[in-house]
C-alpha cells in the first residue's frame, strides 16, 4: 500500500459507536494513546471493523483516514 500521507499509525480498534450515517472509531495505539476517526457507517461495515481489528490511522492535514489489510 502506497500513500501520499506520511503519518501512518498502526493500532487496534478499541471502540465503535455507530450513528445513523457515520461511525466513530476509537483506535488505541501502542502505549495506550487513543485516536478517533469519523467515517461513514457504510465504510465501517464494508471494512468489517470490529473491536480488536488491526487498522492503520492515516493522518493527512486535518483528516484521520482508516485502512486495514
Q: Would residue 22 count as lying in a domain?
A: yes
Tell me, what's the pLDDT at 67?
A: 78
Residue 38, pLDDT > 90, answer yes
pLDDT in tens, 44-66: 999 999 999 999 998 877 677 77
- Domain range for residue 58? 7-67
pLDDT in tens, 8-34: 899 999 999 999 999 999 999 999 999
The rounded distance, in Å, linking the Cα atoms of 23 and 48 is: 13
Which CATH number do you get for residue 27? 2.40.50.100
Q: Which residue bears the cell 492503520?
A: 56
Q: Would residue 45 count as lying in a domain?
A: yes
Q: Would residue 2 count as lying in a domain?
A: no
Domain count, the chain: 1
Amino acid at each position: 500500500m502506497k500513500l501520499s500521507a506520511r503519518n501512518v499509525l498502526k493500532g487496534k480498534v478499541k471502540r465503535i459507536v455507530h450513528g445513523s450515517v457515520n461511525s466513530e472509531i476509537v483506535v488505541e495505539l501502542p502505549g495506550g494513546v487513543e485516536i478517533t476517526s469519523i467515517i461513514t457507517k457504510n465504510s465501517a461495515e464494508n471494512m468489517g471493523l470490529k473491536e480488536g481489528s488491526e487498522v492503520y490511522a492515516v493522518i493527512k492535514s486535518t483528516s484521520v483516514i482508516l485502512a486495514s489489510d
